[in-house]
A and B are shown apart, each in its own frame.
Chain A
Amino acid sequence: MTLVKQVGNEDLKEEINFECETGNYHTFCPISCVAWLYQKIEDSFFLVIGTKTCGYFLQNALGVMIFAEPRYAMAELEEGDISAQLSDYEELKRLCLQVKRDRNPSVIFWIGTCTTEIIKMDLEGIAPKLEVEINLPIVVARANGLDYAFTQGEDTVLAALAQRPNSKQSKNIELKTTSDENSIEHLPLILFGSIPDPVVNQLTLELKKQGIHVSGWLPSKRYTDLPLINEGNYVCGVNPYLSRTATTLMRRRKCKLIGAPFPIGPDGTRAWLEKICMVFGVEPKGLQKREDEVWEKLKYYISLIDGKSVFFMGDNLLEISLARFLIKSGMIVFEIGIPYMDKRYQGAELQLLQKTCKEKNIPIPIIIEKPDNYNQVDRIRDMRPDLVITGMAHANPLEARGINTKWSVEFTFAQIHGFTNAIDVLELVTRPLRRNQKLEKVGSQRYTDRR
């Protein structure tokens, strides 16, 4: 394996306490990745091959986006499809031709669901044939609720994209800005993870200041702009939930993975940049100053959360990075729930967590994989944390019991990466505290008699 620096998994095991519960927790179905990916990849169309259940979820979870003529649709399976009376190939061809005619995308993504898994619909087998017949690339990702949670949906899509061989259209995109005099010669670097375009530019510029050039992003703004990925290229992730994509890039495309903490929070961003610099033999310039400046700006927010406690119920895999940033900001983390923990891919992030706890002289929080929400609510009642980061299913009931909550999904949709956006993370985290402080005069904290 070509992992750039093997993380010390062995030391970690001794110090971080990992536990695994029943997996009875609330999270979004991974098909929700369609919501941000169709916006990110501007010439794409996403076809979710599933049932009314999947459609109902998307329709309600995406809210108003639905009405904006989104570039996604359900291929709703009917009884005839389940009992194999209808030919999957013919049916999919009919729908894809319709999509091609009405929307003219550059690529169609097929999102496999639980149902296509159970009836073993051979999407991977059908796609290459149909692709030729209708003359349009088809990328298959199985983002179903049987195997994955929420943001892991993006991982399945990016892993599928990473598997596609370079096409003629692939290119190295350059971000043309001021002169490149300080840039150094290095092997191509490709970053992976879907983040909003402004954040892409921000991170690219941060690297540029260190003389490092980003050859391309997976995903790119357009499918037709996918970067060239060649053997020996360096790759680095910006999101903690992309372990399959990382593995695919390493194993299939023979790229070298830079295992770094994720650029969330000023500490994470700096560590991420430093790691990349280190790999390319660059002496990082001005990062200490840059980080200090950002912390200076966060002062007001930090004064609100310093010494306060937080509990992550766990549903989107951003938890470790967020917890690490919040600890650095002075919070005490009681529990980090997380749907799935790839200790290898998140190795550097775990190490930074460990280091941060040591520095702050607090015990490392327990990490609970596949949490059990019922047990967690029990623990929350006992511990009474100052803030619970949780899904919407639990937020209102907890608020009614006098417990501050922040809706976890907002972290997935907000811009949280890089130096510039650190403030937005704390803006989100402190919002319930600021709001509830203001409401103190209204009356009671508790709005229910039930336990």
Chain B
Amino acid sequence: MKLAYWMYAGPAHIGTLRIASSFKNVHAIMHAPLGDDYFNVMRSMLERKRDFTAVTASVVDRHVLARGSQEKVVNNISRKDKEEKPDLVVLTPTCTSSILQEDLQNFVNRASIETQADVLLADVNHYRVNEMQAADRTLEQIVQFYIKKAKKKKELDTTKTLEPSVNIIGSFNLAFHNQHDIAELKRLMSDLNIKINSIIPEGASVQELKNLPKAWFNIVPYREIGLLTAEYLKDEFDMPFIDTTPMGVVETANCIRKIQYILNQNNLDVNFEKYIDIQTRFVSQSAWFSRSIDCQNLTGKKAIVFGDSTHAVAMTKILTREMGIHVVWAGTYCKYDKSWFQKEVGDLCDEIVITDDHNLIGDLIAKVEPAVIFGTQMERHVAKRLNIPCGVISAPVHIQNFPLSYRPFLGYEGANQIADLIYNSFTLGMEDHLLEIFGGHDTKEVLSAGLSIDSKDSQIEWNLESQAELVKIPGFIRGKIKRNTEKFAQEQKMETITLEVMYAAKEAAS
């Protein structure tokens, strides 16, 4: 057992559900107790989705515990098949099914005899993998299934497209600024004259998966989800893939050079150096910004970085190589990705921290007292408590990390956004600091005597209970309530304010 208050990565089934519900016309059925469909709330709230999330539960209750869930699962699958006519139903195990040890595969086999839809059992174990690993695996599983199916039906066409083309593996729901990132990647590809063959899984239909091998190569922008699929396609069809995250101007250039290399290998004579140069110098502002005087002031400032491996690595690289900021330590909660992380940023920071214990992270932040933090929502709150500015660069995320306006982290526009994020974090911190020094902050005490009416000559008294009650009222309206109550008491010619008077005043005012 482990005492835990907060976790960075969710349970495995969340990963599977994210993949399944990203595809078009795929329905996921969770084998879970009532209440585990909280995923639907998250998707509907955070992403403000207009459509019903295609996730339902085959509910595990007492009855199921006693008798097994065989009939129920099979019935639920065929019911969904009729109601929604999905292309694919993904049966999703949860922590509960992990310990019930029912033969879910058998249910899937039985159900798929009757259904029009394909039926798959997500191959994830709650106790072995987390959200990201499960998502990675589920995506690979679905891709593999449809490639094999096409092969069997002899519908697999592996001839390459005439013009250079790419698959983008890495668009999904509930991911950090993902929609904007994908839009930016599309723009980059079109600048480079590369056609998009497929973008998976968000918005893709499973029918188009058999066309994946037609692309010249694959891009996996985030290493948490998509690498397994890219590796599978490489093994199976010898498709090269690029796993360099185009985040920051340097890495974006590296990514483009890798694309150039692949195209050259395919006897296409392209040279993107000019493009990179123009983008870096004129289109993106961030390279020039690093040169400007403002940014000089950031030199050597202390920062710490924490997040998933993709974003934490990219951010560390940007801070050190593009802005001259001193990263005291960089870390990730993707523990399984430790060696890659070390390899990427080992030289760019003083220390590396690999942990999923937020308490440890909090302590380490307090110890270092950096000028700025780049982390997840959890670090944002630690930062608040310690009065250190913080930029959020990675999941886990809140609703404010799903902005309506265009905010990519990838590509040249992404570099601009990140530069703003970094700079704003620092100046805010600086301003705050100056204000402190010159005593410029507003007083936080709202309940000052002068605010209540005629406080000096007022005869009105608050008895103990009403005082206690008053203190419970949130600070920002307390003053108003105090004034209203006193006014009310005065009008009623009362001398002591009791609880009764308070509530009567509230009623009179409403």
Could you list which residues of chain A lie within 8 angstroms of chain B, going by C-beta atoms? 23-31, 49, 51-53, 55-57, 59-61, 63, 66-67, 70, 73-79, 81-82, 86, 91-92, 94-95, 98-99, 114-115, 117-119, 144-147, 149-150, 175-178, 197-198, 201-202, 205, 297, 374, 377, 391-397, 400, 419-420, 423, 447-448, 450
Contact = CB atoms under 8 A, between A and B. Distances in A.
A118 B62 CA distance: 10
A177 B52 CA distance: 53
A118 B65 contact: yes
B440 interface: no
A76 B1 contact: yes
A297 B510 contact: yes
Contacts of B4: 55, 73-76
Interface string B335-353: 0000000000000000000
A397 B472 contact: no
Interface in B42-63: 42, 44-45, 48-53, 56-57, 59-62
A399 B245 CA distance: 37
A215 B77 CA distance: 54
A391 B83 CA distance: 22
B33 A146 contact: yes
**6 interchain residue pairs of minimum CB distance:** A29-B35, A145-B33, A393-B40, A400-B50, A145-B35, A67-B381
Contacts of A374: 56, 83
B127 interface: yes
A98 B2 CA distance: 11
Contacts of A176: 465
A49 B2 CA distance: 10
A450 B54 CA distance: 13
A53 B34 contact: no
B38 A60 contact: yes
29 contacts: A23-B59, A24-B56, A26-B40, A26-B41, A29-B38, A31-B35, A52-B7, A53-B94, A56-B38, A60-B41, A60-B42, A73-B4, A74-B4, A75-B3, A75-B4, A92-B1, A117-B65, A118-B100, A145-B32, A145-B33, A147-B61, A176-B465, A177-B499, A201-B503, A297-B507, A374-B56, A392-B45, A393-B40, A395-B44
B162 interface: no
Contact of A27 (B34, B52, B378): B34
Contact of A95 (B3, B10, B11): B3
Given A60-B42, A119-B99, 5 more contacts: A23-B34, A49-B1, A56-B7, A297-B507, A450-B50
B36 interface: yes
Contacts of B381: 67
A70 B381 CA distance: 14
Given A60-B42, A95-B3, A52 B34 contact: no
Contacts of B32: 145
B5 interface: yes
A24 B33 CA distance: 10
A86 B1 contact: yes
Contact of A66 (B6, B57, B130): B6
Interface in B413-435: none
Contact of B10 (A56, A86, A397): A56
B498 interface: yes
B359 to A, nearest CB: 11
Given A198-B469, A450-B51, A73 B5 contact: yes
Given A29-B38, A66-B6, A24 B57 contact: yes
If over half of B's interface residues share one DSSP class (helix, strand or loop), that class is named, otherwise mixed; here it is mixed
B95 interface: yes
B13 interface: yes
A79 B413 CA distance: 45
Contacts of B100: 118
Contact of B38 (A61, A297, A377, A447): A61
Contacts of B2: 74-76, 78
Contacts of A448: 50-51
B281 interface: no
Contacts, number: 184
Contacts of A178: 498, 500
Contact of A82 (B10, B99, B378): B99
Given A56-B7, A374-B83, A202 B503 contact: yes
Contacts of A24: 56-57, 59
B458 interface: no
A28 B1 CA distance: 24
A420 B507 CA distance: 6
Contacts of A91: 1
Interface string B368-384: 00000000001001001
B14 interface: yes
Contacts of B53: 393
A229 B171 CA distance: 59
B36 A57 contact: yes
B30 to A, nearest CB: 10
Contacts of B83: 374
A30 B1 contact: no
Interface in B425-466: 465
A86 B6 CA distance: 23
B258 interface: no
A419 B465 CA distance: 20
A257 B105 CA distance: 50
Nearest to A68: B381
A172 to B, nearest CB: 17
B7 A144 contact: no
Contact of A118 (B1, B44, B99, B378): B99
B37 interface: yes
B207 interface: no
B95 A53 contact: yes
B485 to A, nearest CB: 13
A149 B61 CA distance: 11
A392 B44 contact: yes
Given A29-B34, A56-B11, A98 B50 contact: no
B270 to A, nearest CB: 41
A397 B49 contact: yes
A74 B95 CA distance: 15
A205 B504 CA distance: 11
Nearest to B378: A67
Interface in B454-510: 465, 469, 472, 498-500, 503, 506-507, 510
Given A78-B1, A397-B50, A397-B52, A30 B35 contact: yes
B99 A201 contact: no
Nearest to A99: B3
Nearest to A298: B510
Contact of B51 (A177, A391, A397): A397
Contacts of B14: 56
Nearest to A177: B498
A23 B61 CA distance: 10
Contacts of B507: 297, 419-420
B1 A149 contact: no
A176 B37 CA distance: 46
